[in-house]
Amino acid sequence: MSNKDFTQIYQEWQQQVAGRLAKSPERKERFTTSSDIEVERLYVPENIDDAYMENIGLPGEYPYTRGVQPTMYRGRLWTMRQYAGFGSAEETNKRFRYLLEQGQTGLSVAFDLPTQIGYDSDDPMATGEVGKVGVAIDSLEDMETLLAHIPLDKVSTSMTINAPASVLLAMYIAVAEKQGVTSEKLSGTIQNDILKEYIARGTYIFPPKPSMRLITDIFAYCAEHVPKWNTISISGYHIREAGASAVQEVAFTLADGIAYVEAALQAGLDIDKFAPQLSFFFNAHNNFFEEIAKFRAARRIWARLMRERYNAKNPKSWQFRVHTQTGGSTLTAQQPDNNIVRVTMQALAAVLGGTQSLHTNSRDEALALPTEDSARIALRTQQIIGYESGVTDTVDPLAGSYYIENLTDQLELRVLEYMEKIEKMGGAVSAVEAGYMQREIHKQSYDTQRKIESGEEIVVGMNKFRIENEPQPDLLRVDPSLGQKQKEKLEELRGRRDNQLVDQTLNRLREGAKGTDNLMPLILDCVRAYATIGEICGVLRQEFGEYRAV
């Protein structure tokens, strides 16, 4: 490709960007360094050939190695979506409103363990776990409290929920209806990624086949009724937290993504209707440059898969849009203030990698749920990166680095090798059922732990540079009486709701589960009647059965 050819391409791209900027203007007209050196939107080498355009290209253009938006953070910063949830809906609502007042730009909800596996707070299986690792949500009433005074047509909400994702999404839609907000205006994400639960996390309920049915029902329902909603956040985060390497995180996540695409296609859905609503969830760990390259490689692989393998025509179907959370497993209970430094490096890597939204962990999360002060410092970390560091002034500032481009290529090659193995096994579902990905993660996790224990891998403050008798920080304590309070709320709710209507809606759901109709409208009817999460999931348990790990 000659310089003249590139000049023409560059001019065409600039015209495209100008059109997009008219809809999404840059944050300010002129970007400069502190020395008043003007910063261009994009930097490229003088000589561009076909290989460059094919592998690196331009931001906002296929294969998206340099980012999914042409202006990236010059248009607007990533969504600062701090993950929060503890105890009761009332307490969590207060934390949400506090974070929004502090400049957070999106909500991210953590649910307690009983909610995650579809049990009510008064179920014997919930004993001792209510409100401990997230907020307890038993019914639409709790969801109404959780989202009180929060304008759902203006705030984007992410919900880390998987097996009962359909129920929590239905509750969110129902709360919006009560606020007068139609589902077409709602924006946000449900994690809804059950395969990684079998691989790495364990909060599953149903076997794979009915679980995949629920997921594709959500795809179809939202494509028609909730078009701005990301119907799945295909999660490498928990795969990485279980001990996977960066390569395994990308490979297993993309393999899961292929499985969801295949399931949706088999259900008769149009790829260009559901694929733009797919999103991803990645971890950010401490190896700074590898983490940056990981995002770039994942975008390129996914774009090629969607365009070349699945023949998607809509460019939005090719885009790998990702939320990132800093690495929880990298945090130490020893010298917890060191975690602020770790989180800063990880967050910066995610931003330089081109994430669309970001959660920064708090310094005390290795010990307890974060205090208000710790959550504010975590949010301020993002804001300082966004507004003070200058790394957002140009798109993909590390592109062209010999090291970054080589790492991106190396990661891509190793990811594709893993994906080929999984493909030969029959895909992600078959690989999960055979325990392949689980074994690979266990081997990697064991190797990492061995290196830490031997001192071959240094963790500052834990296996080197320790402090004896270090003081303990103030920690957040969840109200120990919360479980009893939730039981009392449930008893009172069941006493005043229309139980005949609840039974009718649950029976219709039972019949629907026996057939092939989309279950989302039936679940919505149950939620609107104030059926509880345990009652709804109980009906589905009876019809679908429960998964038991091999």
Any idea which residue has 């003081």 for tokens? 471
Q: Which CATH architecture has domain 167-454?
A: Alpha-Beta Barrel (3.20)
Q: What is the predicted pLDDT for the residue at 26? A: 61
Does the structure show a pLDDT above 60 at 1?
no
Strand stretches in 112-186, DSSP E: 156-160
Buried-exposed string 345-368: b where 16+ CB fall within 10 A, e elsewhere? bbbbbbbbbbbbbbbbbbbbbbbb
pLDDT band at 12 (very low <50, low <70, confident <90, very high): low
Q: Over range 161-184, report the average pLDDT.
A: 98
CA 63 vs. chain centroid, Å, equals: 22
At residue 319, the pLDDT reads 98
Nearest to 502 by CA among 529, 528, 525, 536: 529
Q: Where are the alpha helices (DSSP H) in 425-519?
A: 428-433, 436-454, 482-496, 499-514
CA distance 500 to 533: 17
Residues 6+ apart with CB under 8 A from 97: 149, 150
Tokens of 34: 């502190």
Better pLDDT: 21 or 470 = 470
**pLDDT for 103 beyond 50:** yes
Can you give the pLDDT at residue 46? 85
Confidence class for position 18, pLDDT limits 50, 70, 90: low
| Measured distance CA(501)–CA(509) in Å, rounded | 12
- Which residues, 6+ apart, have CB-to-CB distance to 260 below 8 Å? 195, 212, 215, 216, 232, 234, 278
Alpha-carbon distance of 448 to 100, in angstroms, equals 38
The two structure tokens encoding residue 121: 């707070």
DSSP class of residue 276 equals: G
Instruction: At 242, list the tokens.
Output: 């279980």
Q: What is the pLDDT of residues 463-474, one digit of tens each?
A: 999 998 888 888
SS (H, E, C) 103-122: CCCEEEEEECHHHHCCCCCC
Task: Choose among 199, 148, 137, 194: nearest CA to 170.
Answer: 137
Give the E-state strand segments of 126-205 in sequence order: 156-160, 188-190
- How high is the pLDDT of residue 17? 45
pLDDT tens digit sequence for 265-302: 999 999 999 999 999 999 999 999 999 999 999 999 99
State the Cα–Cα distance between residues 548 and 189, nearest whole angstrom: 27
User: If you average pLDDT over residues 518-528, what whole number do you get?
Assistant: 98
How far apart CA 99 and CA 93 sit, in angstroms, is 10
- Mean per-residue pLDDT for 237-244? 97
pLDDT at 16: 55
Contacts of 147 (CB under 8 A, 6+ apart): 93, 157, 172, 175
pLDDT over 70 percentage in the chain: 95
Cβ distance 303 to 296 under 8 Å?
A: no
- In this predicted model, what pLDDT tens digit does every residue of 440-485 receive, in sequence order? 999 999 999 999 999 999 999 999 999 988 888 888 888 888 999 9
One-letter amino acid identity for 114? P
Question: Residue 2: is its pLDDT beyond 60?
Answer: no
- Confidence band for 23, pLDDT divided at 50, 70 and 90: low
